[in-house]
Amino acid sequence: MAKISIKPENKSFEYVPGKNLLKLLLENEVFVDNPCNGKGSCGKCKIRLLEGNLPDMVETEAKLLKKEEINSGIRLSCLVVPQGDIVIEILQKEGKHKILTTGYVPDFEFNPLIHKKIFKIEKPTLENQSSFEEAICNTFDVEKFDWRLLQQREFMIGEVTGVFNGRELIGIEAGDTTDLLYGVAVDIGTTTVVTSLIDMNTGKELATASMINAQKNFGLDVLTRITYEVEHPEDSKEKLQYAIVNSINEMIGDICNKSKVDRRNIYEISIAANCTMMHFLLGIDATSIGKSPYAPIFVKSKNILAKDIGLEAAPGARLYCLPSVSAYIGADIVAGAYVCQLHKAKENVLFIDIGTNGEIVLSNHGKLLSCSCAAGPALEGMNISSGMRAAEGAIEDVKITESGIEVKVIGEQEPIGVCGSGILAVVKELIGVGLVKKDGAFIKKEKLEESDYRYNMLQLDGKKREFVLSSNPKKLLITQSDVRQVQLAKGAILSGFYALLKKANINMSELDKVVIAGQFGAHLPADSLVGIGILPEEVRDKLVYVGNSSKTGAYMALMSADVKEQIEKLAHQIDYMELGASEGYERLFMECLMFPS
Amino acid sequence: MAKISIKPENKSFEYVPGKNLLKLLLENEVFVDNPCNGKGSCGKCKIRLLEGNLPDMVETEAKLLKKEEINSGIRLSCLVVPQGDIVIEILQKEGKHKILTTGYVPDFEFNPLIHKKIFKIEKPTLENQSSFEEAICNTFDVEKFDWRLLQQREFMIGEVTGVFNGRELIGIEAGDTTDLLYGVAVDIGTTTVVTSLIDMNTGKELATASMINAQKNFGLDVLTRITYEVEHPEDSKEKLQYAIVNSINEMIGDICNKSKVDRRNIYEISIAANCTMMHFLLGIDATSIGKSPYAPIFVKSKNILAKDIGLEAAPGARLYCLPSVSAYIGADIVAGAYVCQLHKAKENVLFIDIGTNGEIVLSNHGKLLSCSCAAGPALEGMNISSGMRAAEGAIEDVKITESGIEVKVIGEQEPIGVCGSGILAVVKELIGVGLVKKDGAFIKKEKLEESDYRYNMLQLDGKKREFVLSSNPKKLLITQSDVRQVQLAKGAILSGFYALLKKANINMSELDKVVIAGQFGAHLPADSLVGIGILPEEVRDKLVYVGNSSKTGAYMALMSADVKEQIEKLAHQIDYMELGASEGYERLFMECLMFPS
């Protein structure tokens, strides 16, 4: 065991060497900003070494730090693996309102719509036989309440705690329970669902959980699931809804267990998701999203009873669904645009959420224009022959050199599959070493000398060419079809990128910043994004990572009534451009399919 | 077959002689006012004989008509049984707004809160991808709507009909469905439940149904049911609620069948009931009603989703519960007070609803004071040894003379039991012929000569004396305990009557009118009410019958948003006097137990 001490706080903890410093700090509840999720790309997780030694800098680290910083002992905690006792200084102070464990959160004031108040209800008398309902309404400043609250209780007397959603009473509890008030922030992605338990008295994230969206059984992307809905009108809405509601309920159980919180003290569940996921969540027909002119049933925010869709929390708990803009610019993107304050940007900022659907929002000094591109699930490791989600055993990075194939595996164990960032890395490398041509086709094996280091990396399955990524313990292949999946995703996103700039009449040099959002995007280094041409070479130095801004938006809405209001306004400020309907788009898409040479 | 023709309308129908004229007219959809439900007490069901013959007048009929009326051929249709072809004139015109088949309804304008509007929803385009929700909100003048409406439909285009509850959208139907809009008015009594199907476009009552409140299995009166609730905390609320909801659902099925109406076109169910029944209906704890200080959980009106308590109608149908005043002055009484416009009375009016609970409201030139008395179910034929509800085979009237016992049976068949009005009649007769003494005890059989016509009417069961009301086909007895039940009911109501007058400082001669409300009350002739001393002799000529004013109030609220508003105001204007807490009440009650001599 070795020891890490933190000055001037005089906090210290022991550790087993082997992990990087950022992980050790976060595990021991020392907050360090890390928008890129510790991927060594954002350069934010700075600490200063005061005593002891750290291993030498790698090139990436040196590039991200200024000379003065290096000279004064500053290091990037995600890129160093300490081996012995050290004393360090944390350079950012923990922002009062910056309490999510990952991702970027702007400063904001806490004033949750959900709150508690204590009151005393007088005992009725023969002279004053006032009903319980009147006693409540006279005691609290109640604008309205669901009559079903009256079903929960006998006549209560004395100290009671009222739970409010604004001026609406949503819960009555005996005694003083003001210290027990929890909320849940959820991001429902087409592929992955992430859930956070929040202490609404402090804004602290107590625990998180994530899982693959159980709707994957009905299709891997939005359109396939809508097709499923159309083809099974008898019960598809119920099945799709049950799949997601049940998953969220399970995760709530999980995070409550981890934090020893009673789920009956959860009074709000705040959810961001794309428009189709939101329809499925509420059991609302999404078929009109699947066909031109792509008009959804609803886009507005919803503040409804959580139990009305089967979510298990306090009986009166609310479900807040963030607003969407249109069928293909969902609440996840509105949340991200809000988290990044795109509407207040004083420059030209392009926001990209890379997921099964890729959405792009361009802020032209605050004027917002968006588009959406069907990237498919390949970038998240789905629909890929050896694909898997980013979990232990997944290859997340790949280097191909003359000395062979080097893979980095999550959890540092033997590889059992390839996750999204791994797919991107391997395709980038395949292009780099010339195994995949600009048009996406593998080169012919017979064109390689047998002595070429790349010769044994290719194999043939009948006429199909495949790249052998790993053989031990399990053969992991990258097939021609896998490369095509990535290529289609890349073409979709890059063409959206160009189309949006063109529509806004902004050229590449006028673009000040490119924000990469999404939990998945946070795992994609600039090298991969630019290397396979998802983004053009010119933006390499303009990339900023904000992590899962969809969940962050849901969190902020949970913790602030003002944020709810502002997000609802923001949804109306985002214009939407239907790519398919824009002139010359087909040709642009074809051009964008080309990999960089 | 004979024929009845009506002039000047030139309507006619054939009939089989044997029924009274009122019944024949109502069965053939000819409206005749009959507040006393055809009991020959109100004198309202006048017709004029133009051609043909009718049997001679009985004394009751002659008493209720003026000499001029008799001379001009006027008869009371409930008291004549025509035998041949006749031509008559109906004297009251059918009031435009007086459409319930029984009971008194004051004039009022129809403007139901629930209404329909037709609109056109434009097809979305790629340029205008507005959501269905936006299309609705832009098309209709919608203030709010339950998001669950969005679950019902795919994206609808073209002509749609919106169903509104005020400015709240509660239903969306394809095409023009404005001609299909129905409502249900319900009176839930502790003993009997009555349901009416109303065409909300015309205000017409299409069908009615009634049944014994299925909660009778949990107790015959309010307090016994509350005791059941207290003793079975695990599921009593659910069972009590299910019993009544299920009954109403069955009756709705029944009245819809009769009228060939689809229950999915029912958009409001308007319910009046006493406060305890209302708690049970909504599944709300009623235990605080059962113990001092008798403060209920709620008294205010409710306008909620009918399906939230399991009522089966249109998916968005509303349930309107009329407001109560207190635990023992329920919405049924508020409804009655409204129907009788007690708050606008320019005289002293006493309103009595005789039922399992007896409620009295005194209007002192519009100033309202109320009290409640636990009469018990005896007056409704329950908890009586040979008791039954007022159905075919029930003895509804009794005369005891020297020539024997004469009974009148509903449906003119052999008697199988005694209903409430029959119980009252027999007790009145027993007092009249001296078989029951002022203190309520049967006289001793040995005090009668064997030659006395009354001798064989009494029998002994051990030491218990019993009156043999009928022996064929079934022995029907009136026991000492039966007489005591009636006596307790009488004592409860009469003492409330006196206590209220005393509190308001009004003496008997200042009382201008006594209104008898309740479906059951309509069956109690003045002779019985005064004869056994439920009401004092002095009010005999001041009685007015209004029928089931609870159901009428529910009907009026259904048909008018203004009535809803006025009834809610009225509930606040009724003061309540707790009899048990009023000085000298116990003594007054004891005095009131005495039968008239």
pTM tops 0.80, yes or no: no
> In terms of CA atoms, which chain A residue is nearest residue B582?
A126
Q: Which of B394, B133, B468, B369 is nearest to A326 (CA)?
A: B133
Strand runs labelled E in B72-230: 74-76, 86-90, 114-121, 144-145, 158-165, 168-174, 182-188, 192-199, 204-212
Coil, strand or helix at B95: coil
Q: Is B125 an 8 Å CB contact of chain A?
A: yes
Q: Above 60 in pLDDT, residue B335?
A: yes
Closest by Cβ to B293, choosing from A126, A150, A304: A126
Question: Is B296–A126 a contact, with Cβ atoms under 8 angstroms apart?
Answer: no
Q: Is A576 an 8 Å CB contact of chain B?
A: yes
Question: Is B294–A581 a contact, with Cβ atoms under 8 angstroms apart?
Answer: no
Q: Is A147 an 8 Å CB contact of chain B?
A: yes
Coil, strand or helix at B554: helix
Q: DSSP H helical segments within B28-83, as ranges?
A: 59-64, 67-71
pLDDT 10s digits, A232-267:
999 999 999 999 999 999 999 999 999 999 999 999
Lowest mean pLDDT among A54-58, A281-285, B510-514: A54-58
Closest by Cβ to B126, choosing from A237, A292, A299: A292
CA A169 to chain centre: 32
Residues A319-330: what's their mean pLDDT? 96
Q: Is A302 an 8 Å CB contact of chain B?
A: yes
* Top-level class of domain B2-90: alpha beta
**Tokens 């003993």 identify what position?**
B191
Question: Is A300–B133 a contact, with Cβ atoms under 8 angstroms apart?
Answer: yes
**Tokens 């009634």 identify what position?**
B210
Q: Where in chain B is the domain with CATH 3.30.420.40?
A: 332-377+486-592
Question: Is B133–A294 a contact, with Cβ atoms under 8 angstroms apart?
Answer: no
Which residues on chain B are in Cβ contact (under 8 Å) with A282? 147, 150-151
Q: Which of B163, B138, B142, B141 is nearest to B153 (CA)?
A: B163
Helix or strand run (H / E) with residue B348: strand B348-353
pLDDT 10s digits, A110-119:
999 999 999 8
Which pLDDT score, from 0 to 100, does residue B95 have?
39
Residue A243 and residue A217 in contact, taking contact as beta carbons nearer than 8 Å: yes
Residues B527-540: what's their mean pLDDT? 92
Q: Are strands B464-470 and A404-409 parallel, antiparallel or unpaired?
A: unpaired
Task: Provide the number of CB pairs (under 8 Å) joining chain A to chain B.
Answer: 120
Closest by Cβ to B129, choosing from A126, A308, A327: A327
Which pLDDT score, from 0 to 100, does residue A575 have?
95
Which residues on chain A are in Cβ contact (under 8 Å) with B131? 295-300
Q: Is A235 an 8 Å CB contact of chain B?
A: no
Q: Which of B548, B554, B563, B557 is nearest to B101 (CA)?
A: B548
- The upper half-sphere exposure of residue B375, i.e. CA atoms within 13 Å in the direction of its Cβ, equals 30
Q: How open is the CA angle A473-A479-A485, to the nearest 5 degrees?
A: 125
Question: Is A147–B295 a contact, with Cβ atoms under 8 angstroms apart?
Answer: no
pLDDT 10s digits, B256-300:
999 999 999 999 999 999 999 999 999 999 999 999 899 999 999
- To the nearest whole angstrom, how far is the Cα of B287 from the nearest Cα of chain A? 8
pLDDT 10s digits, A337-370:
999 999 999 999 999 998 888 899 999 999 999 9
Question: Is B285–A155 a contact, with Cβ atoms under 8 angstroms apart?
Answer: yes
Which residues on chain A are in Cβ contact (under 8 Å) with B295? 124, 129-132, 155
Residue A474 has what DSSP assignment?
A: S
pLDDT 10s digits, A569-582:
999 999 999 898 88
* Paired residues of B461 in beta bridges: B464
CA distance A588 to A579: 10
Q: Above 90 in pLDDT, residue B525?
A: no
Q: Where in chain B is the domain with CATH 3.10.20.30?
A: 2-90
- Token couple for A283: 């059991």
Q: Are strands A144-145 and A367-374 parallel, antiparallel or unpaired?
A: unpaired
Q: Which of B95, B90, B58 is nearest to B74 (CA)?
A: B90
Which pLDDT score, from 0 to 100, does residue B203 have?
95
Which pLDDT score, from 0 to 100, does residue A267 have?
98
Q: Is A326 an 8 Å CB contact of chain B?
A: yes
Q: Is A581 an 8 Å CB contact of chain B?
A: yes
A37 contacts: CB under 8 Å, gap ≥ 6:
A102, A103, A519, A522, A523, A545, A547
CA distance A594 to B19: 95
Q: Which of B272, B295, B294, B296 is nearest to B284 (CA)?
A: B296
- The upper half-sphere exposure of residue B41, i.e. CA atoms within 13 Å in the direction of its Cβ, equals 23
Question: Is A295–B581 a contact, with Cβ atoms under 8 angstroms apart?
Answer: no
Which pLDDT score, from 0 to 100, does residue A98 have?
34
State the ipTM, two decimals. Answer: 0.77
CA distance A522 to B447: 106
CATH of domain A332-377+486-592: 3.30.420.40
Residues A493-502: what's their mean pLDDT? 95
Q: Above 50 in pLDDT, residue B97?
A: no
DSSP B483-522: HHHHHHHHHHHHHHHHHHHHHHT--GGG--EEEEESTTGG
- To the nearest whole angstrom, how far is the Cα of B533 from the nearest Cα of chain A? 30
Q: DSSP H helical segments within B65-110, as ranges?
A: 67-71
Question: Is A308–B148 a contact, with Cβ atoms under 8 angstroms apart?
Answer: yes
Task: Work out the pLDDT band at B94, boundaries 50, 70, 90.
Answer: very low
